[in-house]
């Protein structure tokens, strides 16, 4: 028992020394101290948390995650262990995912799903050029994958590379004539390019697939609002609102395509 108390005391000393070193910016030295603390007392949740914090600062996110989880495992009743893990995931979730996807691709480069998911994480970070590069690789590795091809087209839309997006989306709707999301996105790309008749035709085909689809009605409304056809725009907007009024209000809030309708009585009623 006395030996155990001595070990815990020594563990606390190494943990305290690690904190001092970390405060001075000597991260490698701090890591060594925290690891010594844990060797002496594996149940020292605070040492695991402190080690994880330093590993995060060093950019070693997967290793940090292991330590945060270990802190929670050894002390599941610790509110601070729950808090630190939650804070880590909230602040570094996408960065951790990106690191792990890249590690997976280092181990196996011919892994289209990993390229796809890495791209989606990069898109969330606003790194569209990097995301596009990953999607192009994924598409090259799995050219018949409908989801990868569609995500590639969506990324091009986000980058406002509409002609490229249109080329991809035309191939998707030809290969997958029930892919309503691709019809909607093709309509969006045509509208952005000013090809209003083409947008109307493709979105109308979308309604033939599913006449109740919220997104199709909403983007037809956006097309007609842009095209100077307010009555038709409001007709489709009201149908979309009948399916999800709150979503319509949320989408309309920042959608500049509806600027011409903002003083219209029917529009104001939708926003009420």
Q: Given this model, what pLDDT does residue 8 score?
A: 77
How confident is the model over 4-27, as pLDDT tens digits? Answer: 566 777 888 999 999 999 999 999
Output b/e per residue, 83-110; b: 16+ Cβ within 10 A. Answer: ebbeebeeebeeebbbbbbeebbeeeee
Q: Return the H-helix or E-strand segment holding 24.
A: none
3-9, long-range: CB < 8 A, 24+ apart: 7/40, 7/41, 8/40, 8/41, 8/44
Q: Given this model, what pLDDT does residue 123 score?
A: 96
How confident is the model over 57-99, as pLDDT tens digits? Answer: 999 999 999 999 999 999 999 999 999 999 999 999 899 999 9
Listed in sequence order, the DSSP H helices in the chain are: 2-23, 27-40, 45-57, 61-74, 79-107, 112-124, 128-141, 146-158, 162-175, 180-193, 196-209, 214-226, 230-243, 245-253, 265-271
Q: Given this model, what pLDDT does residue 5 score?
A: 62
State which residues of the chain have pLDDT below 50: none
**Cα(34)–Cα(42) distance, integer angstroms:** 11
**Cα(84)–Cα(256) distance, integer angstroms:** 41
Cβ neighbours around 177 below 10 Å, total: 13
**Under a CB-based contact definition with an 8 Å cutoff, are residues 78 and 45 in contact?**
yes
Q: Given this model, what pLDDT does residue 206 score?
A: 96
The model's pTM: 0.82
């Amino acid at each position: 028992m006395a030996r155990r108390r001595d070990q815990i005391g020594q563990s606390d000393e190494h943990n305290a020394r690690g904190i001092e070193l970390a405060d001075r910016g000597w991260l490698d030295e701090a890591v060594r101290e925290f690891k010594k603390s844990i060797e002496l007392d594996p149940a020292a949740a605070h040492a695991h948390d402190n080690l994880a914090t330093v590993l995060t600062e060093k950019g070693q996110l997967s290793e940090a995650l292991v330590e945060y989880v270990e802190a929670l495992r050894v002390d599941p009743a610790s509110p601070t262990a729950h808090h630190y893990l939650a804070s880590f995931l909230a602040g570094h979730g996408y960065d951790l995912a990106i690191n792990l996807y890249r590690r997976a691709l280092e181990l196996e480069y011919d892994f289209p799903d990993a390229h796809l998911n890495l791209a989606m994480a990069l898109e969330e970070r606003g790194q569209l050029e990097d995301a596009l590069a990953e999607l192009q690789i994924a598409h090259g590795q799995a050219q018949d994958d409908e989801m990868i091809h569609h995500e590639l087209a969506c990324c091009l839309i986000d980058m406002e590379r509409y002609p490229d997006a249109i080329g991809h989306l035309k191939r998707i709707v030809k290969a997958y004539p029930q892919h309503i999301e691709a019809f909607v996105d093709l309509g969006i790309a045509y509208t952005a390019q000013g090809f209003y008749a083409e947008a109307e035709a493709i979105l109308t085909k979308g309604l033939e697939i599913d006449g109740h689809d919220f997104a199709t009605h909403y983007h037809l409304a956006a097309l007609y609002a842009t095209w100077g056809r307010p009555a038709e725009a409001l007709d489709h907007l009201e149908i979309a609102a009948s399916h999800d009024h709150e979503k319509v209000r949320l989408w309309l809030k920042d959608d500049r395509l509806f600027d011409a309708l903002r003083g219209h009585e029917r529009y104001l009623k939708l926003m009420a």
